[in-house]
Structure 1
Amino acid sequence: MKNSDIFLKLYNKFDQYMRKEFDKGSRSGHRYLIDELSRSNNLFKFYRDDLKQFAELRNAIIHNTHITDKKDGIAIAEPHDEVIERYRNVLNKIYKPKTAIDICKKLYNRDAFIANKETKIITIIKEMYDKTYTCVPVIEKDHLVGVFSENVLISYIAKHETCKIIETSINDIIDLIDVRQHQGEFFVFCKPTETIYDIKQFFLDDKIDDKRLEMVFVTENGKKHEKVLGFITAWDLID
């Protein structure tokens, strides 16, 4: 099968997917659908430019052919193998996008460092230094108590002229770690089914009152009071 035929097969399947999945009629054009869906769907917003370029290539294949003595014309635009592979990969990510629960650090996995109320802050500071973390969740019985961060440490030192960090535990600074009290950062809660593109958009829109988004917590319904299933940082979004 020629690459142009493979490409058109991928295109037609995707066109049908958009119309069926998002209940769009047959009258709307392919590129119009992409633009329309990009306004409300972060997944389409992320791949909008790529998808529109593929649509232009499709038009070049369909509408520009050499007329021969055979029944069918010959396509002027014959896509390279790399183009076919790129289109297929983009479409697969659209059909089956990774979700928050797929990419988050689960609470008790080896790669997830968490603290509790009894944890000494010197232990947290050493781990943050070794792993270049900026924030560490404080968890009790799977629920979020707060987040220890560089700004929390600075606030603690600023409020105590004499402080014994080696002896200090999270319990001693519990009022400073509340996610609503952080000075330089904020945190978001999301459902497990949110796509990776929804999470990426959180980080792209990461400024609220000059605070930066540091971490997204995954809970059953995206509510703060629910059990934490995992958490996501910007580093977890790198493909």
Structure 2
Amino acid sequence: MSNAERLIAIYNHLDRFMRDLDEKDQYIPFSRRVQKLATHGGPFDKYKTDLLLLSDLRNILVHEAYLDNINPIMEPNPKLMERFEMIYGRIISPPKALDVVALKGHEIYKVGFDARATRVMENMIRHGYAHVPVVENEVVQGVFSEHSVVNFLTQMPGSTIGPELRVGEIMGVVQKDSYQHQRYRFAHRDVTAFEVEDMFWSQQGQDRKGRLVAVFLTSTGKKGGMLLGMVTAANIAGFRV
């Protein structure tokens, strides 16, 4: 199969796939359907420019009259075809965040309520960690960060961060602060990388105080579930275009 034939096949498969997603508008053109689906985020938004290019190239190949014994007026570049095939695969079978962008449970630096706060902060500085999940019995109870310490000192005037201060004591104070809850979210283990990416993009315009810093993937998609993975803004930034 030539690259031109492969391109047309990808277009046809995607066209049918999009029609199944958008049953109300069966007769709108491919390009308009892409633009419509892109408004919902996800892969159609991420790859909108590529999909519109795919549509243009397909139209050139199909609408310029040529017979089976005449070569098409162009042959798509192999690198371009690799990209179209990658995009096709990601749209038809979106990769799970847990598989492609998340730190797995055993890779995550996490602490319990009984951990000494000073030791945790030393490890955070040494390894460059900004946010550390606080986990008890494999369940996320909160997130420890420099903001946790600042909030603790602000809400407990006269307190100090001594060597015996435990993470649980700090979290018992800052968890009451709604600001702490705005900075991380929970999602189900089966959430796609595109859905997690959209969570971060949707909060881009917010100030630092309310900006999402981590998404925790759990067995239930809620705080009470078992921690299976963690995605930060840095992880999602590495999600290959």
Q: State TM-score, norm by structure 2.
A: 0.85
**Partner in structure 1 of residue 80 of structure 2:** 83
1:25/1:184 CA distance change after superposition, 3 Å: closer
Q: What one-letter code is carried by the residue in structure 2 that aligns with 1:233?
A: T
- Per-residue CA distance 1:156-206 (angstroms, 9 max, x = gap): 334343514322111221323428543696111112222111111111122
Bigger share in strand: 1
TM-aligned CA distance change 1:98 to 1:224, over 3 Å: same
Q: Matches of residues 184-203 of structure 1 in structure 2 within 5 Å?
A: 186-203=183-200
**1:29 aligned residue:** 29
**Structure 1 gaps, min length 5:** none
- For the structure 1 residues 73 and 157, does the alpha-carbon distance in structure 2 shift closer, same or farther, using more than 3 Å as the test? same
Q: Does 1:151 align with 2:150?
A: no
Percent of pairs with identical residues: 24
Tell me, yes or no, if the aligned pair for 2:183 and 2:212 is still in contact at 8 Å: yes
- Corresponding residue for 1:93? 90
CA displacement at 1:225 relative to structure 2: 3.3
1:2 deviates by: 2.6
2:111 aligns with 115
Q: What amino acid is the match of 1:182?
A: Y
Match of 2:102 among 104, 110, 123: 104
Please report the RMSD computed on the Cα atoms of aligned residues, expressed in angstroms. Answer: 2.5
Matched, 1:213 2:216: no
- Alignment-mate amino acid for residue 211 of structure 1: G
Question: How many pairs align?
Answer: 234
Question: Normalising to structure 1: TM-score of the pair?
Answer: 0.85
Counterpart of 2:191 in 1: which secondary structure? coil
Question: How far is the alpha carbon of 1:88 from its aligned partner?
Answer: 0.7
| TM-fit CA distance, 1:24 | 6.2
How far residue 104 of structure 1 moved from its aligned partner, in angstroms, is 2.7
Q: Distance in 2 between matches of 1:26 and 1:213?
A: 37
Cα distance between partner residues in 2 of 1:24 and 1:3: 32
1:205–1:153 distance in 2 versus 1, CA, 3 Å? same
One-letter code of the match for 1:227?
Answer: M
In structure 1, which of residues 135, 138, 142 is the aligned counterpart of residue 138 of structure 2? 142
Distance 1:179 1:233, change over 3 A: farther
Q: Check the 8 A contact 2:118/2:161 in 1, yes or no.
A: no
Aligned counterpart, 1:9: 9
Distance 1:202 1:234, change over 3 A: same
Kindly state the Cα deviation for residue 236 of structure 1 after the two structures are TM-superposed: 2.1
Kindly indicate whether the alpha-carbon contact (under 8 Å) linking 1:186 and 1:212 is maintained by their aligned counterparts in 2. Answer: yes
Moved more, 78-87 or 184-193: 184-193
Structure 1 position 163 matched with structure 2 position 163: no
Moved more, 166-175 or 50-59: 166-175
| Cα gap change, 1:39 to 1:93, in 2 (>3 Å) | same
Answer yes or no: is the 8 Å Cα contact 2:11–2:58 preserved in 1: yes
**What secondary structure is seen at the aligned counterpart in 2 of 1:113?**
coil
Runs of 4+ in 1 over 6 A off after TM superposition: none
State whether residues 179 and 186 of structure 1, in contact with CA within 8 Å, keep that contact through their aligned partners in structure 2: no
